[in-house]
Amino acid sequence: MHLKGFNKSLWDDLRAQAKKEAKKTLNCRIIATDIRREAVEAARKNAATAGVEHLIEFGVCDYSGTPIPEGGGIVILNPEYGERMGKLKELESVYKGIGDFFKQKCRGYTGYIFTGNLDLAKKVGLRAKRRIQFFNGSIECRLLEYELY
């Protein structure tokens, strides 16, 4: 909206068309959790702005308390990676716990971890099927994909 040449009328038309074509229900569950209530409320607000809040189940809990439905699907985690929050030594146990969570509760799923710390990612204890490079601002990150069987 703040780009040079932004066409508000065209944007409004595109948004209206997208809302008309948007699905009202899904044949799967989207579950979004975070340990911080403020993060969950921010996600809920963004989902409401996007018109998809009714499609998402929000909860406040540690990742390991997130309900994992039967039947497979995708689990995505975005843990701290020591840039702004957390201490590296403490985060090692978090990443090991993510590996345990994947192995014990997420069989039949595809797991993803978005991290900016590849040393911490090694603590997961699973071999990534794919590593996709991303940037979070100036921080070089990876989206790591795991087959969980």
Domains parsed from the chain with CATH numbers: 26-61 (no CATH), 69-149 (3.40.50.150)
Per-residue pLDDT of the chain (149 residues; tens, 9 = 90+): 888 999 999 999 998 898 888 778 888 999 999 999 999 999 999 999 888 899 999 999 999 999 999 999 999 999 988 765 568 788 999 999 999 999 999 999 999 999 999 999 999 999 999 999 999 889 999 999 999 98
**What number of H helices and E strands is found in the chain?**
4, 6
Identify the pLDDT of residue 99. 97
- For the question of whether the overall pTM of this predicted structure is more than 0.85, the answer is no
Identify the pLDDT of residue 6. 94
Identify the pLDDT of residue 107. 95
Identify the pLDDT of residue 86. 60
Residues 6+ apart with CB under 8 A from 122: none
The torsion angles phi and psi of 78, rounded to 5 degrees, stand at -125, 75
Tell me the C-alpha distance between 126 and 79, whole Å.
16
Instruction: Return the number of other C-beta atoms located less than 10 Å from residue 11's C-beta.
Output: 11
CB distance 76 to 115 below 8 Å = no
Identify the pLDDT of residue 100. 97
Identify the pLDDT of residue 21. 84
